[in-house]
Amino acid sequence: MTKQRLLIFAAGIMGAGFLLGLWFGQDSNTPPPDRTTYIAASPEELGPRQLRLSPTAMKLAEIQTTAVEKRFVANEIRMVGKVDYDETRVATISAWIPGRLERLYVDYTGVSVQPGDHLVSIYSPDLYIAQQELMQAAQAVAAEISGNQRIQERNAATLQATREKLRLWGLTPEQIGRIEQSRELSDLLTIYSPISGIIIHKQALEGMYVKTGDHIYTIADLSQLWVRLDAYESDLSWLHYGQEVEFVTEAYPGKPFRGRIAFIDPVLNPDTRTVKVRVNVPNPEGQLKPGMFVRAIVHASVNTEGKIDDPALAGKWISPMHPEIIRDQPGACDVCGLPLVSTESLGYATADMAQSSAPLIIPASAPLITGKRAVVYVADANDPGIFEGREIVLGPRAGNFYHVLSGLQEGEQVVVHGAFKIDSEIQIQAGPSMMSPEGGGPVPGHDHGATPTPAPRSSPVSVEVHTDHGN
């Protein structure tokens, strides 16, 4: 017996159980009926996918319906991940000249520093020679009395070149100016912190000799962090740049934190079938620590055009690199200077999109899904006892609802409970059903009489309950 026939047989057994339930499910206080529940050809002209149920049969089968609606429903996308450093706010302090680390003012990790704080002093003979060149160039410019313009330009260019050399070695303009004015040479170079943050790595020891480019410290600004999340492949259509993300941590289980999606990895991890999603998160109080485990959630809803419906971003302008920069008018990003882009260009609905753009939705319990097919049963508008099977095209699932792309209209009543019982009975009568879209013959082994007479495929059937109490 083929797999399809086994499925048909199983559905037939369930349908038979349903019909027996109609027979034996009478209230114990109800007198036995004189006319039994039966299956017979309907006296009315019904379609091949239609079935009539009497009110009693509908009650026993617990048939429930609801109206097809047009409205926005939010889907909850859940993700997990970890807090990480913001790579754009990490600075490496390196040796700009070869020499010996004379003194490390910060001698352990975890120290908080501010811009301009001195970090390390390097002894370097090369620095002493460069300062001599600076002084000689400055003296040549100051002593120039020949009036020869070419000589003046050459001396000025030499002075500027020596200044630039010292600047590239890390000397501040103030330090260079003091050398020119005081004529005092030094073989020690002091390096200052370029940003505020925490010393997260210390790669050198006091007294070590270093070459140009050797790392000494790594500083991270923790006032803003990244949260790296893992999103499943099936959830990607709901995620967009700029969306707000809410998350909680193990350290603060009752405190929600928020940030905005700044990057969605264009490459899928083939092993986990997930995509990395990066969220920019402000951390002004320093409660979040790199390495913390987080659980995040995104609330998203889409309209009929597939655009994200987010009233907070409708009609706004946003930075293409810093999603926390949102403005009412076009302009430039306060952080990177790039032109702001419209949220509509990033997949968001515009402010003037009315309720008419809301999608059609049905409860997730309504469709019977097998493979790529989805079938619902719709109650007849004029006769609610007639149910018609209809193939529909489903869109994305949003929580306990499905978007309907085609096959239904707003206001139609679809079965949300008991649809499989209706489908089983239609299948028993060889009509088109979920498992047998083209219909078929009677289910094997489903003979209830010596001379069964199955209803032809062109003759619709109904299930009716008749009772007669002797009246």
| Residue 332 phi, psi (nearest 5) | -115, 150
The predicted-structure confidence for 322-331, as pLDDT tens digits, reads as follows 999 999 999 9
The predicted-structure confidence for 250-266, as pLDDT tens digits, reads as follows 999 889 999 999 999 99
Please compute the mean of the pLDDT values over residues 378-397 and round it to a whole number: 90
Is the confidence at residue 22, as pLDDT, over 60? Answer: no
The predicted-structure confidence for 1-19, as pLDDT tens digits, reads as follows 455 555 555 555 555 555 4
pLDDT at 178: 81
The predicted-structure confidence for 356-366, as pLDDT tens digits, reads as follows 578 899 999 99
Residue 469 to residues 32, 34, 35, 56, Cα–Cα distance (Å)? 8, 7, 9, 15
The predicted-structure confidence for 64-89, as pLDDT tens digits, reads as follows 999 999 988 888 999 999 999 999 99
pLDDT at 457: 37
CA distance 288 to 223: 9
Please compute the mean of the pLDDT values over residues 434-447 and round it to a whole number: 57
Beta bridge pairs of residue 84: 226
The predicted-structure confidence for 207-250, as pLDDT tens digits, reads as follows 999 998 899 999 999 999 999 999 999 899 899 999 999 999 99
Type and span of the H or E element at 470: none
Beta bridge pairs of residue 231: 275
Residue 92 to residues 86, 87, 288, Cα–Cα distance (Å)? 14, 11, 22
Q: Quick one: 162 exposed, middle or buried, by C-beta within 10 A (0-12, 13-18, 19+)?
A: buried
Instruction: Give the list of residues 6+ apart from residue 13 with CB closer than 8 angstroms, or none.
Output: 446
Amino acid code (one letter) for 419: A
Amino acid code (one letter) for 224: Q
CA distance 50 to 48: 6
Quote the pTM value. 0.70
The predicted-structure confidence for 145-179, as pLDDT tens digits, reads as follows 556 677 777 878 888 888 888 888 877 788 788 88
Q: Which residue has the tokens 């990607």?
A: 236
pLDDT at 459: 34
Instruction: Give the list of residues 6+ apart from residue 339 with CB closer than 8 angstroms, or none.
Output: 330, 331, 332, 333
**Greatest extent of the chain over all pairs of C-alpha atoms, in Å:** 137
pLDDT at 23: 43
- Supply the mean pLDDT for the chain: 81
Residue 120, token pair as written in the block:
């390390």
For residue 420, the SS3 value is helix
Angle between helices 419-428 and 3-24 (to 10 degrees): 110
Cα angle 32, 34, 37 (rounded to 5 degrees) comes to: 85
Is the confidence at residue 24, as pLDDT, over 80? Answer: no
The predicted-structure confidence for 184-216, as pLDDT tens digits, reads as follows 778 888 888 989 999 999 999 999 999 988 999
How, if at all, do strands 50-53 and 386-391 pair?
Answer: antiparallel
Going by C-alpha positions, the residue among 41, 163, 62 that lies closest to residue 454 is 41
DSSP string, 2-34: -HHHHHHHHHHHHHHHHHHHHHHTS-TTSPPPS
